[in-house]
Amino acid sequence: MKRNKKNVSKLCLVGLLVASSFSACSTKKENEIQDTNITQEEMATIPPEEINNDVIKYEADLTGDGENEIIIVDASKIKKDGQEMAIISVTDSTGKELWSEEAGLPHMAWRSYYLCCIDGEYSIVRYNPYATQGIGTYSYERFTLSEKGEQLIEAKEVEFQTHALEENVLEFPIEDMLSFADSVNVSLSNSFLLLNTYQGELKYSTEENKITYIEKYQYIIPDDIQREELSLKEKIEKTRQRILEESK
């Protein structure tokens, strides 16, 4: 299916509104992905082609060839019994599959994917803010697609400890954590959620409800510190100090 060039121009202009829309959501509770109910006019993406609650399809040019690919989010099996996997896939206009991955509710299968539009260019963000047993590894990749698979645009990772392994010893690189958040939020602030299974909860956007997220280390910084009127750097510093104090 060829994309209407007039609609493409409109979408690129709409993209300018996304940052302010996401900023307006920052007053909501931010310890989980936000159901923001962003209107279609505020969203820099093509609306779903088909929705039946369990299988959702979007169109976007992810290969840069001027034709839309079809993004399919299939949560039908995972919604049925929670044991199967949700599938996100991309096919070209002929139906040929270009890319596919799975996400599930068990801890090791947690995944999240976003559709991103920056400067009129569509891409997928695979974001994995993973923390377990005192260790956190946050990573993301933003990529387009071709017949050869993923075409990486950018990637970044940060590692830190969420518990001190011994008194007064804690790997909690504040500047690296800030740099990572700044980087991933450029992508996330121009994206909406396609599929997420983190914390064992299935989430995905619909035409009526576009889900957005900005990384502020919501799962690491305690709620009482999150509520304080502090910069992200100050919140991370305060969290680090608390972890060290609790290790004594």
pTM check: above 0.85: no
* DSSP assignment letter at 2: B
Low-confidence ranges of the chain (pLDDT < 70): 1-53, 79-82
What is the rounded distance in angstroms from the CA atom of residue 40 to the CA atom of residue 43?
5
Length of the chain: 248
How far, in whole angstroms, is CA 9 from its chain's centroid? 25
* pLDDT of res. 22: 29
Orientation of helix 174-188 relative to helix 232-246, angle to 10° = 130
What is the rounded distance in angstroms from the CA atom of residue 16 to the CA atom of residue 118?
9
